[in-house]
């Protein structure tokens, strides 16, 4: 495993109008590492990862300051186009959100097709590859032209993962990707992540601490917009350095 | 003892409420039926008056000069269709575009002004819009024209379309747009290709309803596209249209023109009826589940 940092966050602040939701967070992630972000609701963890592909600023009144380096390029540099950043940093959302009225196939290749890739053979090849990587191919290969919304919730979420993978991102952000799914679909996605990490660097927000413990290499604990503790997952869960972390992971919080 | 009295009392109350409920439902049902009477009577009357004059000539021939019998409204039917088509060309783009602006861009003073203006515009009597186009196009061009009529109808389409498009697109969840943005697509592409095309069926019902609304407009056409007894000769020439032709024939003193007017009315009503049926078909659950 390459240990060089692919993702480096330095002093990141995120705002909604006058409210500061993320208050100066710095952390870094190595190539192909899985980083889990945990913390109570409203602690700024979703806002934090939405800053990593500059999606946060798309909300009215929202903006962010600081530096986020991805492969040594500061995505908050004035010369950088946020649209180009989002091709390198894919995202999977809390609720499965396939594009309505698009087929399974068109959902997967939407990013490429709308970016101007026209060759059917290329699109077919990438669709198959992405669906294989998202562990969905065998379930949908005979109905690629059925609507994406006809799949079950867990399948829709894997479809969204395939869609994100199709543009070949280097970093994959996952914002509570399993919180709307049943335990079996959750297990499938967790299993899938252990495969995905070979190709992409994953940052995952989760409410489920067992999930964080199972799948991540390093864990960041957020509280009220601040990064309280950041370290190896095993260390954060077995020997937390901060009292707040310990209280949260043992369920004695609040 | 006390207990039975209470139960008896409650049973009585319950019976009363059941009766009140029945009476109220009956009243509401009859009110709804009464509301249907004008619609049905118009339909039946137009059908009864219009059918006798309905023949192939009506669709293929030009109006005959006064005194001669026969002839048809072929030029008016064509005229109405060309007017609608030309009006749609810019009315749809403008109206849907305005709706997109209202739903997709952050609320601000401009969007409030636009929304308020659209609401005002939709309540302006259509004859005023006709007058506006008269001074805007007819006077400078020094003649009535298809173009002027189409512009008047197009302007009437804009506010309805803008508001229906806005309402429809507001129902598209934010996370669908975010999914598009997160794929590295520019905002305009997300809006056009995912939000708009993804809801094209709902948008097209809005478009059909707007067209149905303008296809019967008469007042703004009286002094914009005017009328013409011949085939349409160009976009800068006056054109016949069904509503204006119906109006002209209906107020004439000739018996056979009255017949023609009724038949024209039947065609116009059927046209609007068909467009409304089309929206029902487009929005039917059988199709949306596909």
* Cβ atoms of residues B221 and B152 within 8 Å: yes
Q: How many domains does chain B have?
A: 1
- In this structure, what CATH number is given to the domain that contains residue B181? 1.10.3720.10
The pLDDT of residue B50 is above 50: yes
Confirm whether B164 is domain-assigned: yes
Which of the 8 DSSP states describes residue A99?
Answer: P
Q: What is the pLDDT of residue A56?
A: 93
Distance CA B151, CA B146 (A): 9
Å between A246 CA and nearest CA of chain B: 34
Distance CA A116, CA A112 (A): 6
| A84 to chain B: closest CA residue | B184
Work out whether the CA dihedral A197, A200, A202, A208 comes out positive or negative: negative
Distance CA B33, CA B144 (A): 44
**Chain A contact probe: residue of B109, B171, B175, B184 with most A CBs at under 10 A:** B184
Q: What is the pLDDT of residue A252?
A: 72
**B6 in contact with A, Cβ within 8 Å:** no
Of B175, B185, B199, the CB nearest to A114: B185
Identify the structural domains of chain A with CATH numbers, from first to last: 5-249 (3.40.50.300)
Of B178, B184, B290, the CB nearest to A111: B184
Å between A145 CA and nearest CA of chain B: 11
Query: Residue B31: pLDDT band by 50, 70, 90 thresholds?
Result: very high
Work out whether the CA dihedral B249, B254, B257, B261 comes out positive or negative: positive
* Cβ atoms of residues B163 and B174 within 8 Å: no
The residue assigned the tokens 């592409």 is B189
* Cβ atoms of residues A207 and A236 within 8 Å: no
Confirm whether B11 is domain-assigned: no
The pLDDT of residue B287 is above 60: no
| A116 to chain B: closest CA residue | B185
The pLDDT of residue B30 is above 90: yes
Q: What is the pLDDT of residue B221?
A: 92
Distances in Å between the Cα of B15 and the Cα atoms of B25, B26, B62, B150 are 16, 17, 68, 61
Confirm whether B38 is domain-assigned: no
**Chain B contact probe: residue of A90, A114, A148, A162 with most B CBs at under 10 A:** A114
Distance CA A216, CA A218 (A): 6
* Cβ atoms of residues B279 and B164 within 8 Å: no
SS3 B147: helix
**Chain B contact probe: residue of A101, A107, A115, A126 with most B CBs at under 10 A:** A101
Confirm whether B222 is domain-assigned: yes
* Cβ atoms of residues A211 and A241 within 8 Å: no
Token digits of residue B285? 């659950």
Distance CA A178, CA A190 (A): 9
Distance CA A254, CA A207 (A): 16
Across all residues in chain B, what is the average pLDDT?
Answer: 89
Q: What does residue A216 show for φ and ψ, rounded to 5 degrees?
A: -105, 155
SS3 B245: helix
Least confident range of A61-65, A168-172, A231-235, B283-287:
B283-287
Nearest to B232 by CA among B69, B58, B59, B81: B81
Query: Residue A100: pLDDT band by 50, 70, 90 thresholds?
Result: confident
* Cβ atoms of residues B223 and B131 within 8 Å: yes
User: Exposed, middle or buried: residue B261 (CB in 10 Å: 0-12, 13-18, 19+)?
Assistant: buried
Q: What is the pLDDT of residue B286?
A: 54
Confirm whether B64 is domain-assigned: no
pLDDT tens digits for A120-133?
A: 999 999 999 999 99
pLDDT tens digits for B221-255?
A: 998 998 888 888 888 898 999 999 999 999 999 88
The residue segments making up the domain with residue B226 are 74-285
> How many CB atoms lie under 10 A from the CB of residue B122?
16
Q: Give the strand pairing for A171-175 and A89-92.
A: parallel
pLDDT tens digits for A195-248?
A: 899 889 999 999 888 899 999 999 999 999 999 999 999 999 999 999 999 999
Token digits of residue B255? 């018996």
Distance CA A165, CA B186 (A): 18
Q: What is the pLDDT of residue A116?
A: 86
**B290 in contact with A, Cβ within 8 Å:** yes
Distance CA B38, CA A31 (A): 73
Largest CA distance in chain B: 95
* Cβ atoms of residues B224 and B138 within 8 Å: yes
Å between A1 CA and nearest CA of chain B: 27
Distance CA B84, CA B275 (A): 13
The average pLDDT across B107-123 equals 91
Q: What is the pLDDT of residue B1?
A: 54
Nearest to A176 by CA among A95, A58, A55: A95
pLDDT tens digits for A142-152?
A: 999 999 989 99
Is there a contact between A86 and B181 if contact means CB atoms under 8 Å apart?
A: yes
**B180 in contact with A, Cβ within 8 Å:** yes
* Cβ atoms of residues B181 and B262 within 8 Å: no
The residue assigned the tokens 């077919």 is A124
Is there a contact between A163 and B179 if contact means CB atoms under 8 Å apart?
A: yes
**What percent of chain B clears pLDDT 70, i.e. is strictly above it?**
97
Confirm whether B140 is domain-assigned: yes
Work out whether the CA dihedral A104, A105, A110, A112 comes out positive or negative: positive
Q: Is B107 left (phi over 0), alpha (psi -120 to 50) or beta?
A: beta
Q: What is the pLDDT of residue B289?
A: 41
């Amino acid at each position: 495993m390459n240990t060089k940092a692919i993702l480096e966050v330095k002093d990141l602040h995120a705002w909604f109008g006058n409210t500061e939701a993320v208050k100066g967070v710095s952390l870094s992630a190595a190539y192909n590492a899985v980083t889990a972000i945990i913390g109570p609701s409203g602690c700024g963890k979703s806002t934090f990862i939405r800053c990593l592909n500059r999606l946060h600023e798309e909300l009215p009144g929202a903006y962010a300051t600081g530096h986020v380096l991805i492969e040594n390029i500061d995505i908050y540099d004035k010369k950088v186009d946020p649209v180009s950043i989002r091709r390198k940093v894919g995202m999977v959302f809390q609720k499965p959100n396939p594009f309505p009225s698009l087929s399974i196939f068109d959902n997967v290749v939407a990013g490429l097709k709308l970016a101007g890739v026209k060759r059917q053979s290329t699109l077919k090849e990438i669709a198959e590859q992405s669906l294989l990587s998202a562990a969905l191919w065998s379930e949908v290969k005979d109905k690629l032209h059925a609507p994406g919304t006809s799949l079950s919730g867990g399948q829709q979420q894997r479809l969204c993962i395939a869609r994100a993978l199709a543009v070949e991102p280097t970093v994959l952000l996952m914002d509570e990707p399993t919180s709307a799914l049943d335990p079996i679909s959750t297990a499938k996605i967790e299993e899938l992540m252990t495969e995905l990490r070979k190709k992409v660097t994953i940052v995952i927000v989760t409410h489920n601490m067992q999930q964080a413990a199972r799948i991540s290499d390093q864990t960041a604990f957020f509280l009220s917009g601040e990064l309280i503790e950041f370290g190896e997952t095993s260390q954060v869960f077995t020997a937390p350095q901060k009292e707040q972390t310990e209280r949260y992971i043992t369920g004695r919080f609040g | 003892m006390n207990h039975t009295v209470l139960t008896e009392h409650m049973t009585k109350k319950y019976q009363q409420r059941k009766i009140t409920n029945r009476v109220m439902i009956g009243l509401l049902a009859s009110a709804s039926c009464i509301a249907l009477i004008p619609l049905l009577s118009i339909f039946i009357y137009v059908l009864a008056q219009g059918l006798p004059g309905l023949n192939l000539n009506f669709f293929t021939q030009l109006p005959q000069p006064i005194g001669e019998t026969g002839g048809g409204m072929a030029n008016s039917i064509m005229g109405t269709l060309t007017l609608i088509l030309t009006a749609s060309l810019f009315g749809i783009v403008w109206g849907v575009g305005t709706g997109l602006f209202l739903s997709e861009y952050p609320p601000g003073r401009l969007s409030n002004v636009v929304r308020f203006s659209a609401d005002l515009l939709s309540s302006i009597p259509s004859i005023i819009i006709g007058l506006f186009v008269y001074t805007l196009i007819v006077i400078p061009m020094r003649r009535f024209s298809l173009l002027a009529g189409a512009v008047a109808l197009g302007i009437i389409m804009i506010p309805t379309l803008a508001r229906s498009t806005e309402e429809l697109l507001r129902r598209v969840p934010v996370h669908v747009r975010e999914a598009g943005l997160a794929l590295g697509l520019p905002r305009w592409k997300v809006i056009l290709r995912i939000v708009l095309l993804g809801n094209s069926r709902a948008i097209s019902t809005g478009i059909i309803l707007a067209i149905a609304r303008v296809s019967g407009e008469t007042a703004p056409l009286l002094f914009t596209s005017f009328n013409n007894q011949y085939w349409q000769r160009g976009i800068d020439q006056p054109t016949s249209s069904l509503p204006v032709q119906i109006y002209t024939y209906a107020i004439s003193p000739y018996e056979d023109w009255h017949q023609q007017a009724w038949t024209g009315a039947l065609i116009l009503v059927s046209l609007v009826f068909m467009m409304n049926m089309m929206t029902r078909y487009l929005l039917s659950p059988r199709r949306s589940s596909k």
